[in-house]
Structure 1
């Protein structure tokens, strides 16, 4: 798109908005109608506001295929699950030290000054080394000014000099700790080979656990859903698709992909079997290995079984993966005979020994020898945030500065429960030893621990062990119900902000204009922290926190700090709701690692040798039992075939949801599209369901030693026998909070998942290493109503 086209389109959009408003008035509608542009993780949209009330969601011209999720925005504002007033847990307000009552007793409505003063006094009484700032760089919301992680970090760093934070993430906690040493970059968030190059050159497209269509419904910033326009072109190009996954996902169905029904958690064994065959048959790319990789000679003895007596051949891989030897051989022959692109995923590394997953794909792609070729190689982000789209090259909006955290300790993301329950315990982490501090206060803004952390019952024990829990929330989430003090914060529709569009395209800046005034007693998180700053340090600290600037001054500053904004002045941008940048023709020709392949000396990787590493010295020197200097197969402690499978015969997968961003939207009407009798679906194979006497649409109990949930049976042939699937993010709803292990009425999968770390190196989450049993409910068992999104009892409301 040329700059002239962009300006023309911008004018057309502005004219369209004006024309729409004029036509409404001409039709005799009430004059007080506004069309207001806004943007979210689900896409941009135009809000129709009548008499001050948000009444309709209209399509934005930037969204190429709007998601149904965008239709739930109205419900986010007017749902009964809104936190309407500042609330304090009854016992906490009365001065009783009864943390075990969190989630078990009513709240009391208080005024803002009482709530702020109570929290300020608790902060003053708690050393910063004992406060856990539970906001982290997650999916709070897309705004740059009101980003929950930023406003919370700015408060703690400016007001207190810091607090204990979170190290790493849940999405890519394992891969993020090893990939940079293997291939010089995390890769999981890197620019991907463009769709144009895939369509033109790729002959075989391997979706190794990746679900392109489903996961691209959302974006870390604002999605444009442009990928949806490319997928029909993939089919027209005649690309052969292969799905290596225990679940025949939506994308596989769309592309009519060949289904490789692999046994869960055995992907690395399959990769090793493929590599062993390629090496012993002489079909691997020896020139690529010699020119572009390092340490192959140190890996080869393990692959061939010379170091441990076990050759990782096709027969060995077949036994572990439960795939036929012939199918493994056929895959290897196909990959080296055709231009092959391997689309990796993030789920495999969220399993025990997950560090090996991406390493295995990188090693396999190296032996195939197509890394850096158009349409070949490996990519880990084609399923995420518009992966494969060409990049504008522009710098989009910056965020709020947070200052410096002087505490100097952060909890590895998946170790939160372990840390809180075991102060003083030392663990290995990234090749060094760290010691857990004592956590006395949990401060949670814009993130819900009970939504994303594994082993819910263990986490609840941890939450009930600290002195104070403070939560900012627009809604009564499960985490808010476990708090001592709840501040009612605005949602994005009740405040002005600014953001960018397209994690990979980076070609749009959006005005997130306030759609309606805040309802009830909601305040912005920024304002809440500014008020707390005043309580702690008076006007001086208040001004340091706010920077002496208004919201619109901050927003205009962010806008003017972006490159390319000379296309529109700020006033025009704010009126139109967006500015869109050009994308150069050359950007559509981008191939991942093409420069490295062209000249590995001039464009060396940021690894120990400048090449792709089959062996990493510092990994070996760490001398860990569960992570070594080269790629290895480690048998999971909990998977099909292990001792626990006798009691829990199903492997549970917990993928990203189709109609949510993690837990977001589980309190809106959109959940009615997929819930079964109000519960999260459990996908089960037709034959497995028949053996258990389970019919499609029935509510069943899914259980293991960590807990139990009720879920709705979704019976299908699109999942491997012995495997079940529950999407993550359902709002936790304990049937009886007084039980030691309450059964969740809503089907929250993290009641079942383990907090076991991937390894002693990354200490990341291993939620996809999980076994469960399934039980058909008896005829006399009464199902309680689903109530996870309802407000708790509030005295004085």
Structure 2
């Protein structure tokens, strides 16, 4: 693309649609699409990152690996994370990658290759890193994959067992339009954080979620936010805020259910027709099975909420269309399966499940798409090919896999064996952002023979790799975007040339495929531009079968964003179940909602009984460990970026405090520790420590601290102190339970102190450390 007079081209990311000002070579700036009613500012900081000092502009190989070859790190091979890097040419980098793959598969089999990726790498339908790497590895004969997601693993598994599947739960989500029409009561466990509605997998044509929430409030809907953080719900919703202790939501739900039942306000007809196990659960709820009625007085000392407030909320729910929703954060905790299971059960008890504007909200507020009319149109995507082998791990068990190859693990009622992963190939995604107990992960990361990554920047993933291959960003590629359940398709016109020496993920994999003799199968003889055109024409064909005409790709690139056609709306699974459970069974053994699951009870797994139960987390403010670590740390989605993406950009950087990630503290907790607003603090527990910048505010409950995820991990010295503020040096690397094995990041106790002396400099935004 030759340099020209500045002009604007449309583009799109997971956080919305924008117009990029470009001279054909550089991005001069982004501005939101004028048609977006409430655009996210996240994308505005991305252009500044493209030429940042941490930008990778050539392939690099870790010095110990280059000199001594593949093998576990340590000794003469050096330590991943502490070594220097040698710049190499592309042919050398590609040859080393191909040789490592070939040798690993020949000696150890395809299960020894772990294909690491995540769905947030790019909004593009073609330049989707997860699709690219999985397609490539499937053509090589297969790989070890991960199942579920860090965001929602426990919810995915429990709904598969008791609610007819995760997809059924999402498809039955109440939508804001109907919530407004019904003047519903929305009880949001974990709140409805407006910051989360900025993002959506695959993109957002128009931001409308917050607007629709506010419109529902204007129509008479009422909102209750049960969260330790006051800002976990939009101020315009005029919500009742109940600042409960983190991790106690199941106890509160049980108390609400108890009050509905003893008042005779429960939906006996639905419970008898459309659920199984109600009688056994009722015995637990009323204390007949364990001698403990689950009253508000019982829940009050657990949750830290007055019993009267819990009772008042139960009375507001009686006879009223009600939504019971749980955020993703609640199930990312010890016994995380229990919160969504109990929320589904409470919705069934309330009489609102399967009715318009009511029922179970599966993570309403967690993404832009949730709470809106779901798009049922499926644009074309890059085929990932046939899965050749069935080797897998639960997504949050990667450190266990590396540390304990050959050992067995429980998952979803089965016993499985960890593969012996010798080569990690990571394209799109950053385990040093989303995994827990990063000091443990660093130890595990030394075990493989080879680690290959595609990266934009010299972040922690690149600094812990053997072969680092520089990849183009979404502003440096042509593509088109269509978000999950979002009714728009958007053009992604290349706004900048990648730096010399930087390639797209597809070009990199095609070169490795050529070395391995599978280039024709991988590319199918198409260039990147031809692939984009091919997938878009498939999308147009699908629209035509619905009687709709989408513009040509050239026309789309002129207009930016167009609406997608919608197939006829289908009846939501829980609505159909309520109407006729015999004719419309859901995908459970009984065909009904399983309040008591004989299947789960039959597994006999510790920490996951046969019905929703209050189980004390290992780490919470009522645990013995709270004597030593008296603050509960929560680590949700940041406001200024998507996960860890573009943390080196201007928008994320503007939110730092003393150059570090901000930690929110209540004034009571700050005063007790001599901490003032803006001070550098040290957050610590037995697993690790990090530095952060203090923000003192009464927006958070006393005894709780909030440190967002996504600050690039920046360990200083052998003790692993993270100087930048990544909460996952503090969180525990343990499964929610042996059922789902999801992450339990939100069950985390810490203490905080003022950092004395000159704090170490943040270095993760520097170039990769190099050697001759």
| TM class, shorter-length | over 0.9
Alignment of structure 1 residues 474-485 onto 2, 5 Å: 474-485=456-467
| 1:151 shift after superposition | 0.8
Any stretches of 5+ residues in structure 2 without a counterpart? none
Indicate if the aligned counterparts of 1:172 and 1:188 stay in contact, CA closer than 8 A. no
Secondary structure of 1:268 counterpart = helix
1:593 equivalent in alignment to 2:571: no
Aligned to 2:85: 107
Greater mean deviation of Cα atoms: 200-209 or 103-112: 200-209
Aligned to 1:421: 403
1:83 equivalent in alignment to 2:56: yes
| 1:761 shift after superposition | 0.8
Any stretches of 5+ residues in structure 1 without a counterpart? 1-29
C-alpha distance in 2 between matches for 1:353 and 1:239: 31
1:65 equivalent in alignment to 2:38: yes
Alignment of structure 1 residues 11-160 onto 2, 5 Å: 32-50=5-23, 52-95=25-68, 99-100=73-74, 101-127=79-105, 128-159=109-140
Aligned to 1:20: none
Secondary structure of 1:157 counterpart = helix
1:553 equivalent in alignment to 2:556: no
Secondary structure of 1:624 counterpart = coil
Indicate if the aligned counterparts of 2:111 and 2:142 stay in contact, CA closer than 8 A. no
Q: 1:188 to 1:795 in 2, by over 3 A?
A: farther
Structure 1 vs Structure 2 CA RMSD: 2.0
C-alpha distance in 2 between matches for 1:212 and 1:60: 23
Aligned to 1:511: 491
| 1:51 shift after superposition | 5.4
Indicate if the aligned counterparts of 1:201 and 1:375 stay in contact, CA closer than 8 A. yes
1:356 equivalent in alignment to 2:356: no
Alignment of structure 1 residues 291-370 onto 2, 5 Å: 291-370=273-352
Q: 1:182 to 1:596 in 2, by over 3 A?
A: same
C-alpha distance in 1 between matches for 2:624 and 2:115: 36
Indicate if the aligned counterparts of 1:44 and 1:62 stay in contact, CA closer than 8 A. no
Indicate if the aligned counterparts of 2:183 and 2:216 stay in contact, CA closer than 8 A. no
Aligned with 1:564 (options 531, 536, 543): 543
Alignment of structure 1 residues 100-249 onto 2, 5 Å: 100=74, 101-127=79-105, 128-159=109-140, 161-186=141-166, 189-190=170-171, 192-223=173-204, 224-249=206-231
1:676-702 per-position Cα deviation (integer Å, ceiling 9, x unaligned):
001111111111111111111111100
Secondary structure of 1:44 counterpart = strand
Aligned to 2:515: 535
| 1:61 shift after superposition | 4.2
1:463 equivalent in alignment to 2:445: yes
Aligned to 2:762: 786
C-alpha distance in 1 between matches for 2:504 and 2:403: 32
| 1:582 shift after superposition | 5.1
1:201-220 per-position Cα deviation (integer Å, ceiling 9, x unaligned):
12422221132421101111
Indicate if the aligned counterparts of 1:65 and 1:225 stay in contact, CA closer than 8 A. yes
1:689-723 per-position Cα deviation (integer Å, ceiling 9, x unaligned):
11111111111100000000001111111111111
C-alpha distance in 2 between matches for 1:535 and 1:583: 43
| 1:191 shift after superposition | 5.8
Aligned with 2:563 (options 561, 564, 580): 580
Aligned to 1:385: 368
Greater mean deviation of Cα atoms: 628-637 or 90-99: 90-99
Indicate if the aligned counterparts of 2:193 and 2:231 stay in contact, CA closer than 8 A. no
C-alpha distance in 1 between matches for 2:667 and 2:592: 47
Indicate if the aligned counterparts of 2:24 and 2:495 stay in contact, CA closer than 8 A. no
Secondary structure of 1:471 counterpart = strand
C-alpha distance in 1 between matches for 2:113 and 2:209: 39
Indicate if the aligned counterparts of 2:247 and 2:617 stay in contact, CA closer than 8 A. yes
Indicate if the aligned counterparts of 2:723 and 2:762 stay in contact, CA closer than 8 A. yes
Indicate if the aligned counterparts of 1:202 and 1:340 stay in contact, CA closer than 8 A. no
Q: 1:672 to 1:516 in 2, by over 3 A?
A: closer
C-alpha distance in 2 between matches for 1:87 and 1:393: 43
C-alpha distance in 1 between matches for 2:726 and 2:487: 37
Secondary structure of 2:116 counterpart = coil
Secondary structure of 1:126 counterpart = helix
C-alpha distance in 2 between matches for 1:429 and 1:233: 42
| 1:31 shift after superposition | 5.9
TM superposition score normalised by structure 2: 0.94
Aligned with 1:544 (options 521, 526, 529): 521
| 1:660 shift after superposition | 1.0
C-alpha distance in 1 between matches for 2:184 and 2:487: 29
1:749 equivalent in alignment to 2:732: no
C-alpha distance in 1 between matches for 2:171 and 2:438: 32
Q: 1:278 to 1:578 in 2, by over 3 A?
A: closer
| 1:554 shift after superposition | 1.7
